[in-house]
Structure 1
Amino acid sequence: MESAGKHGLMGMLHLSDGPRVESTRPWIGILAVILAAFISTLSSRLTNFGVADISGALGASFDERAWITTSFSAAQMLMGPLAVWLGMVFGPRRVLLAGSITFGFAELLLPICRELDGFLVLHFVAGLGSGTFVPLAIGVVVRNLPRNLWPLGISVYAMNLELSLNIAATLEGWHLDHGGWQWIFWQNLPLTLALIACVYFGIPREPIKQDVKGKGDYWGMAFAGLGFALLYAALDQGNRLDWTSSGLVAGLLLGGGLLIIAFIVHGYRNPDAFIDFGFLIQRNILPLLLLLIIARLLVLSSNFIVPQFLTQVAGFRPQQVGQILLWVALPQFLIGPCVGIVLRYIDARILMAVGMSLILVACLVASELTSAWSESEFIPSMLMQAVGQTMVLTSLIYYTVRHLNPVLVITFGAVIQTARLLGGELASALVQSYARISTQIHSNLLGVHVMTGDASVTERLSGLSHGPLVRFGVTDPSNSVRSVGLLANQVREQAQTLAYSDAFLLAAATAVLGIAIIAMLRSAPS
């Protein structure tokens, strides 16, 4: 593969990059990668689950609390391009230490701050600090570990993305029951201290590249960081504000889109751009980036659709939802290392295809759900999801890394950050909008068959009026009014159930597209 750093700043970085710097303590380096990926994803996920309790303590309204989660992830998006540049110039070790200290300090102060504005600022700062973790983690694996440990390091990295996404509900429930909402943030302090220790002892110090220090492509980084951050905010707020019906969402989409266009034009026209877009047209790169987005959407079939169904239809509390998500989280300790070992002997494309097929079958199984489903009915599909998602994500990242030169490995970390956040938010917005529209359609279709005076409807209303209500001792004449309310609730539940079934079918169709793309992948460069 032709080097992407042929000229300008990327070329200078490539020429001064020198040989790979392997760690003398590779297992501590892998542990640093574990903690970095775990903390970054877990923090965002925990805040999503605990936002109601956090906003209650801050006295924030429903509209105000929506910006609590947006501020953290938008800051991570903003930090991605800058983290790549800083990692190239100063080395991942220095940047990860600075990011860890910044993140830990902000997490310490967040529960103490009871003013919404100050809280949002601190949460944004925490996002900036953690925004260095994911972009640099892959660089740590490839540049600091022996080549024979790459598959294992990448599998552990992917494993922790899955683990942190699916264990958050359980942790949030435990914190609320035993310590209070403050521990959503304070739990990160010991994790951050452990990360600092692992980075300090497990990642070697690299010399600062004085020849390119101070010559950063600041316009390119600003265009990319601000553009992706604005697009993320628009996607995160779009469903709440009804998309283009909101001037704010329309402005965020327009501003973010224009900045991304400016970033692309700047990158193609400026010989000193911090990234060379030429690598996008090289072998397999665009299909692999598309697969990253598809993989992120498929993750939603386990950690979004299932919790939404269980809370809105089955009436589960968040703590109970966490129990079903553990069927995806806990097997990762076994699945992740096994996938890493198998990758050393089997083509990554085969593992990707097998994993995608497992996800396809899991989605088809879950699409048969009824309003009576609870935890036990989801277990078979969740276990298939656990295996399939880890196989796909691990194999995909490993196969993509094999296409990149040393400089682009670090840059690829920013691509993963973008795919993880922006791709995940795009997928979430798509699934939420799809489920909402599907619910409305099914509700209307079901309502057509619920007609006043129809014999079956009259019989159902009579059963509701003299059945459950009587058992609870309610026998007054208003029973008929309450029975209508119960029937309307049953129609709503059935409409939501059918909508979530459709969402699983959408995920299954996406998995089919993923299998087709994998089949078209050519062999990686030698």
Structure 2
Amino acid sequence: MSEPGEKTFPASGAAGPEGDSASLVDWIAVIAGALGAFMATLDTSITNTALPQIQGEVGASGTEGTWIGTGYLVAEVIMIPLTAWLTRLLGLRRLLIVATSAFVLFSMMCGVSHGLTQMIVGRAGQGFFGGALIPTAQIIVRTRLPLRQMPVGMSIFGIIVVLGPVLGPVIGGYLAEEVSWRWCFFLNLPVGVALVTLLSLGLPAQKAELDDLAKADWLGIAGMAVAFGCLTVVLEEGQRERWFESPEIIYLCLASLLGFAALFTAQMTRAKPVINLALLRNKAFASTTLIALVIGAGVYGTTFIVPQFLSGIAGYNPRQAGNIMALSALPLILFMPVLPRVVGRFDVRLMVALGLLCFAASCFVDVHLSPDSAGGDFTVSQVMRGIGQILAAMPLNQAAMAAIGRENAADGAGIYTMARNLGGSMGLALSGLFIDVRSSVHSDTIRESVTANSLIGQARLAADGLGQGIDAATARLRAIAQLSHAIEKQALVMTYNDCFWMLGILLVAITPVVLLLRQPAPPR
């Protein structure tokens, strides 16, 4: 029996074009969509390890430099839900060619930047037009491949969206250390040229429906842009601005609420709202969206914490940190040839559950880090993370598209991708909150038991301060400074352990939701 609100969604078996196999042109379109999604997801994190060099070149402080990443994410989250409407308005091929060309142009702006403003504008432009490249890859798979080959297409897409954020710090760190951070952006030029060529060959030309501009859901468009844009800024910048101690954060929260009010008003009053949130009445699709949100938090949270630990505690440079991050990509590469067959044959709910639990276990492995831990201590957890992400993300993509009809592919892809990105912002915000709050708690706790007059403190001061060829007073002051530094370092390590524990618990808590997923129809 259908659930309320589900009766308008066709069965998954009705989806996909007719025919036994996709043509060469169809596969060119799928590869083009995957390449575009990879380019966009790669750039979400490619500046992470290169950020110190970029900040130095453009003259940005630590706080200002965060906008190099925030500007990208804010613009991206605004564009993603607009993609379905723009696809109907411009046609898929025209939209993707325009988006790719603009993405490359803004990448070049970033690459030649010598000031912070130019860099932020370039990153925002990248994020906005890159946001169209991710959900459209799902649209191409959903509309160009027959049901029998859908697992292959969805596996390709799933690998891409997981691989991009993982390889971003690796490639960015290598370029920053060995070539120049500017090649983090110049790299998009040859990729963009190849992508436009493939799009021209693989997608048919479609007539633009510019008349739809006059009857567009402008209230919903404005509300959505304000709601999700302001929410992303709050999540990204809230911790640095001390949350509600900052008037700016309060104003942004109010603006986001007003935006959501406008968006929901448009949902109730417009015949064709800009984003079809009614799809979330479908329990199966809503479940995949919720799980995608948590996976996004886990992926972005761990890709933030691990480099922070390696650089701040272990003293790794960007390239060394990138090499450790690359370990989680190994399972993706090794499983790539067999994944399409596995995804199509096993119960999607079992695979997603195993993936979530493996991802959670990788976080729990890292809750015992110490100040002496180094990159080798992350080997097992990074490989487990890669396995967990691939087991969860691959079938989840397929389940999301199977839960809705082919005619809803564009809207569904936009909602699903937006949830994953918002989850990433939430993961970063939660990690930042934990680092700020828990590091102070741990530092205070350690200082209460390790004072200059305590037995432990006296032993440490005696070991560090004397016998250095300087007077006793100076030696003692130096030893106290070293002890204070050791306390702060230990408190930070304990905080990172808390962050991994929090992300692991979050992934375990969402696992029962897999019971609501819908098993895709078997290939025919």
- Indicate whether the TM-score tops 0.5: yes
In 2, distance between residues paired with 1:99 and 1:4?
34
1:41-52 alignment runs, 5 A limit: 41-52=41-52
Cα offset, 1:233, TM superposition: 1.6
Aligned to 1:484: 480
User: What's the CA shift string for 1:346-369, capped at 9, x where partnerless?
Assistant: 111111011112112222222122
Contact 1:355 1:390 in 2 (8 A): yes
Aligned to 1:37: 37
TM-score by length of 1: 0.90
User: What's the CA shift string for 1:173-209, capped at 9, x where partnerless?
Assistant: 3222333222121011111112112212223334545
User: What's the CA shift string for 1:354-397, capped at 9, x where partnerless?
Assistant: 11121122222221222221111111111111011111111111
In 2, distance between residues paired with 1:519 and 1:386?
23
Letter in 2 for 1:135: P
Contact 1:72 1:123 in 2 (8 A): yes
In 1, distance between residues paired with 2:277 and 2:106?
35
TM-score by length of 2: 0.91
Aligned to 2:201: 201
| 1:189 paired to 2:189 | yes
1:487-506 alignment runs, 5 A limit: 487-506=483-502
Letter in 1 for 2:217: D
1:353-392 alignment runs, 5 A limit: 353-392=353-392
Cα offset, 1:502, TM superposition: 1.4
| 1:513 paired to 2:491 | no
1:261-410 alignment runs, 5 A limit: 261-300=261-300, 302-410=302-410
Question: Identity, % of aligned pairs?
Answer: 26
Cα offset, 1:19, TM superposition: 6.1
Cα offset, 1:134, TM superposition: 0.8
In 1, distance between residues paired with 2:445 and 2:347?
48
Aligned to 2:87: 87
Question: Secondary structure of the residue that 1:452 maps to in structure 2?
Answer: coil
Contact 1:141 1:154 in 2 (8 A): yes
| 1:163 paired to 2:159 | no
In 1, distance between residues paired with 2:101 and 2:413?
20
Cα offset, 1:64, TM superposition: 3.0
Aligned to 1:235: 235
Cα offset, 1:484, TM superposition: 0.9
Contact 1:23 1:29 in 2 (8 A): no
Letter in 1 for 2:177: D
Question: Secondary structure of the residue that 2:48 maps to in structure 1?
Answer: helix
Runs of 5+ unmatched residues, structure 1: 11-16
User: Quick check: 381-390 or 476-485, which moved more?
Assistant: 476-485
Aligned to 2:218: 218
Contact 2:296 2:422 in 1 (8 A): no
> Structure 2 vs 1, CA of residues 402 and 264 (structure 1 numbering), >3 Å: closer, same or farther?
same
> Structure 2 vs 1, CA of residues 177 and 18 (structure 1 numbering), >3 Å: closer, same or farther?
closer
In 2, distance between residues paired with 1:405 and 1:297?
27
Contact 1:163 1:330 in 2 (8 A): no
Aligned to 1:13: none
Contact 1:134 1:416 in 2 (8 A): no
In 1, distance between residues paired with 2:119 and 2:428?
25
> Structure 2 vs 1, CA of residues 494 and 63 (structure 1 numbering), >3 Å: closer, same or farther?
closer
Contact 1:106 1:123 in 2 (8 A): yes
Contact 1:37 1:160 in 2 (8 A): yes
Contact 1:29 1:203 in 2 (8 A): yes
Question: Secondary structure of the residue that 2:46 maps to in structure 1?
Answer: helix
Superposition CA RMSD, Å: 2.8
Contact 1:23 1:204 in 2 (8 A): no
Aligned to 1:14: none
Aligned to 1:26: 26
Letter in 1 for 2:512: A
> Structure 2 vs 1, CA of residues 474 and 96 (structure 1 numbering), >3 Å: closer, same or farther?
farther
Contact 2:45 2:165 in 1 (8 A): yes
1:411-422 alignment runs, 5 A limit: 411-422=411-422
Cα offset, 1:228, TM superposition: 0.7
Contact 2:403 2:518 in 1 (8 A): no
Contact 1:355 1:389 in 2 (8 A): yes
In 2, distance between residues paired with 1:101 and 1:246?
38
Runs of 5+ unmatched residues, structure 2: 10-14
In 1, distance between residues paired with 2:287 and 2:406?
21
User: What's the CA shift string for 1:405-438, capped at 9, x where partnerless?
Assistant: 1232111221133123222111210121023211
In 2, distance between residues paired with 1:522 and 1:84?
23
In 2, distance between residues paired with 1:124 and 1:425?
16
> Structure 2 vs 1, CA of residues 523 and 172 (structure 1 numbering), >3 Å: closer, same or farther?
closer
Contact 2:80 2:135 in 1 (8 A): yes
> Structure 2 vs 1, CA of residues 19 and 388 (structure 1 numbering), >3 Å: closer, same or farther?
closer
Cα offset, 1:156, TM superposition: 1.7
1:58-207 alignment runs, 5 A limit: 58-207=58-207
In 1, distance between residues paired with 2:151 and 2:413?
16
In 2, distance between residues paired with 1:364 and 1:65?
31
Aligned to 1:254: 254
> Structure 2 vs 1, CA of residues 449 and 278 (structure 1 numbering), >3 Å: closer, same or farther?
same
Contact 2:90 2:210 in 1 (8 A): no
Contact 1:23 1:144 in 2 (8 A): no
Letter in 2 for 1:479: A
Contact 1:348 1:399 in 2 (8 A): yes
